[in-house]
Copies of this chain bind each other. A is one copy, B any other.
Amino acid sequence: MTCKKQVKMSLKGMTTNSDKYNSGCPMAYALDIFGDRWSLLVIRDMAFKGACRYGDFLSGGEGISTNILAQRLKQLEAAGLISKDRDPENGRSFVYRLTDKGRDLAPVLVEIVLWSGRHNMAPHALTGTLDKLRADPDGGAAAIRAGRVP
Protein backbone atom coordinates (compact mmCIF):
# COMPACT_ATOMS: atom_id res chain seq x y z
CA MET A 1 0.00 0.00 0.00
CA THR A 2 1.57 3.26 -1.11
CA CYS A 3 0.95 5.48 1.85
CA LYS A 4 1.42 9.18 1.23
CA LYS A 5 3.08 10.71 4.22
CA GLN A 6 1.13 13.45 5.81
CA VAL A 7 2.88 16.79 5.36
CA LYS A 8 1.75 19.38 7.83
CA MET A 9 2.12 23.05 7.07
CA SER A 10 1.88 25.57 9.82
CA LEU A 11 -0.31 28.56 9.01
CA LYS A 12 -0.29 30.86 12.00
CA GLY A 13 -0.36 28.02 14.46
CA MET A 14 -3.02 26.18 12.50
CA THR A 15 -2.14 22.91 10.90
CA THR A 16 -3.57 22.80 7.41
CA ASN A 17 -3.50 19.87 5.06
CA SER A 18 -2.22 21.19 1.79
CA ASP A 19 -0.38 18.43 0.05
CA LYS A 20 -1.87 15.87 2.39
CA TYR A 21 -2.83 13.66 -0.51
CA ASN A 22 -0.80 14.63 -3.52
CA SER A 23 -1.95 11.93 -5.91
CA GLY A 24 -2.54 14.59 -8.55
CA CYS A 25 -6.08 13.39 -9.14
CA PRO A 26 -8.59 16.20 -9.74
CA MET A 27 -11.07 14.58 -7.38
CA ALA A 28 -8.43 14.32 -4.67
CA TYR A 29 -7.46 17.95 -5.19
CA ALA A 30 -11.05 19.03 -4.68
CA LEU A 31 -11.63 16.78 -1.69
CA ASP A 32 -8.46 18.13 -0.11
CA ILE A 33 -10.15 21.52 -0.09
CA PHE A 34 -13.80 20.79 0.66
CA GLY A 35 -13.97 17.05 1.33
CA ASP A 36 -15.24 17.26 4.88
CA ARG A 37 -18.48 17.68 6.72
CA TRP A 38 -18.49 21.47 7.04
CA SER A 39 -16.72 23.31 4.24
CA LEU A 40 -19.48 22.87 1.68
CA LEU A 41 -22.10 23.87 4.24
CA VAL A 42 -20.30 27.14 4.84
CA ILE A 43 -20.10 27.63 1.08
CA ARG A 44 -23.78 26.72 0.78
CA ASP A 45 -24.68 29.41 3.32
CA MET A 46 -22.80 31.95 1.24
CA ALA A 47 -24.05 30.80 -2.16
CA PHE A 48 -27.69 30.05 -1.40
CA LYS A 49 -28.44 32.24 1.60
CA GLY A 50 -26.12 35.19 1.15
CA ALA A 51 -24.47 34.56 4.53
CA CYS A 52 -21.31 36.56 5.01
CA ARG A 53 -20.66 37.00 8.73
CA TYR A 54 -19.30 34.66 11.35
CA GLY A 55 -22.57 34.66 13.23
CA ASP A 56 -24.49 33.80 10.05
CA PHE A 57 -22.56 30.58 9.70
CA LEU A 58 -22.85 29.70 13.38
CA SER A 59 -26.61 29.91 13.09
CA GLY A 60 -26.63 28.33 9.66
CA GLY A 61 -28.90 25.51 10.75
CA GLU A 62 -26.56 22.55 11.10
CA GLY A 63 -24.88 23.47 14.37
CA ILE A 64 -21.23 23.84 13.49
CA SER A 65 -19.14 24.55 16.55
CA THR A 66 -17.26 27.80 16.80
CA ASN A 67 -13.72 26.43 16.84
CA ILE A 68 -14.35 24.28 13.79
CA LEU A 69 -15.97 27.19 11.98
CA ALA A 70 -12.97 29.42 12.64
CA GLN A 71 -10.65 26.70 11.37
CA ARG A 72 -12.69 26.06 8.21
CA LEU A 73 -12.90 29.75 7.38
CA LYS A 74 -9.11 29.96 7.58
CA GLN A 75 -8.66 26.89 5.42
CA LEU A 76 -11.13 28.10 2.81
CA GLU A 77 -9.41 31.47 2.74
CA ALA A 78 -6.01 29.77 2.44
CA ALA A 79 -7.38 27.70 -0.45
CA GLY A 80 -8.59 30.87 -2.17
CA LEU A 81 -12.30 30.06 -2.08
CA ILE A 82 -13.33 32.90 0.19
CA SER A 83 -12.07 36.34 1.15
CA LYS A 84 -12.20 38.11 4.49
CA ASP A 85 -12.54 41.87 4.89
CA ARG A 86 -13.49 44.27 7.62
CA ASP A 87 -17.12 45.26 7.58
CA PRO A 88 -17.19 48.97 6.65
CA GLU A 89 -20.50 49.36 8.51
CA ASN A 90 -19.36 47.69 11.74
CA GLY A 91 -15.78 47.80 12.96
CA ARG A 92 -16.04 44.67 15.06
CA SER A 93 -17.37 42.56 12.23
CA PHE A 94 -15.83 40.96 9.17
CA VAL A 95 -17.36 40.16 5.82
CA TYR A 96 -16.63 36.82 4.18
CA ARG A 97 -17.27 36.47 0.46
CA LEU A 98 -16.83 33.80 -2.16
CA THR A 99 -13.97 34.53 -4.53
CA ASP A 100 -14.20 33.74 -8.25
CA LYS A 101 -12.77 30.32 -7.49
CA GLY A 102 -15.40 29.79 -4.81
CA ARG A 103 -18.29 31.00 -6.95
CA ASP A 104 -17.01 28.75 -9.71
CA LEU A 105 -18.16 25.83 -7.56
CA ALA A 106 -21.71 26.82 -8.55
CA PRO A 107 -22.30 23.87 -10.91
CA VAL A 108 -21.03 21.45 -8.28
CA LEU A 109 -23.40 22.87 -5.68
CA VAL A 110 -26.32 22.84 -8.09
CA GLU A 111 -25.72 19.24 -9.12
CA ILE A 112 -25.49 18.13 -5.50
CA VAL A 113 -28.77 19.84 -4.66
CA LEU A 114 -30.44 18.31 -7.73
CA TRP A 115 -29.14 14.86 -6.84
CA SER A 116 -30.49 15.15 -3.32
CA GLY A 117 -33.73 16.42 -4.71
CA ARG A 118 -34.00 13.29 -6.82
CA HIS A 119 -33.13 10.85 -4.03
CA ASN A 120 -34.07 12.33 -0.67
CA MET A 121 -37.65 11.42 -0.04
CA ALA A 122 -37.82 13.29 3.26
CA PRO A 123 -39.27 16.81 3.25
CA HIS A 124 -36.76 19.39 2.09
CA ALA A 125 -35.64 22.71 3.33
CA LEU A 126 -34.71 25.13 0.55
CA THR A 127 -37.67 23.78 -1.42
CA GLY A 128 -38.21 27.02 -3.26
CA THR A 129 -34.59 27.03 -4.32
CA LEU A 130 -34.78 23.39 -5.35
CA ASP A 131 -37.77 24.04 -7.58
CA LYS A 132 -36.03 26.96 -9.22
CA LEU A 133 -32.88 24.92 -9.77
CA ARG A 134 -34.87 22.09 -11.30
CA ALA A 135 -36.61 24.47 -13.66
CA ASP A 136 -33.39 26.21 -14.65
CA PRO A 137 -30.15 24.65 -13.38
CA ASP A 138 -27.87 26.78 -15.53
CA GLY A 139 -29.66 29.94 -14.48
CA GLY A 140 -29.15 28.99 -10.85
CA ALA A 141 -25.48 28.34 -11.39
CA ALA A 142 -25.17 31.63 -13.24
CA ALA A 143 -26.82 33.48 -10.35
CA ILE A 144 -24.32 32.05 -7.89
CA ARG A 145 -21.48 32.90 -10.27
CA ALA A 146 -22.78 36.45 -10.41
CA GLY A 147 -22.81 36.68 -6.62
CA ARG A 148 -26.59 36.61 -6.28
CA VAL A 149 -28.62 34.04 -4.39
CA PRO A 150 -30.51 31.84 -6.84
Contact = CB atoms under 8 A, between A and B. Distances in A.
Query: Oligomeric state, in number of copies?
Result: 2
Interface string A107-150: 11101111111111011111000100000000000000000000
Contact of A29 (B21, B31, B116): B116
A24 B23 CA distance: 35
A31 B26 contact: no
Given A35-B37, A119-B101, A112 B25 contact: no
Given A35-B36, A115-B105, A119-B104, A27 B41 contact: yes
Contacts of A1: 58-59, 63
Q: Assign chain A's interface to a size class.
A: 35 or more
Interface of A: 1-4, 21-31, 35-37, 40-41, 44, 48, 58-59, 61-63, 80, 101, 104-105, 107-109, 111-120, 122-126, 130
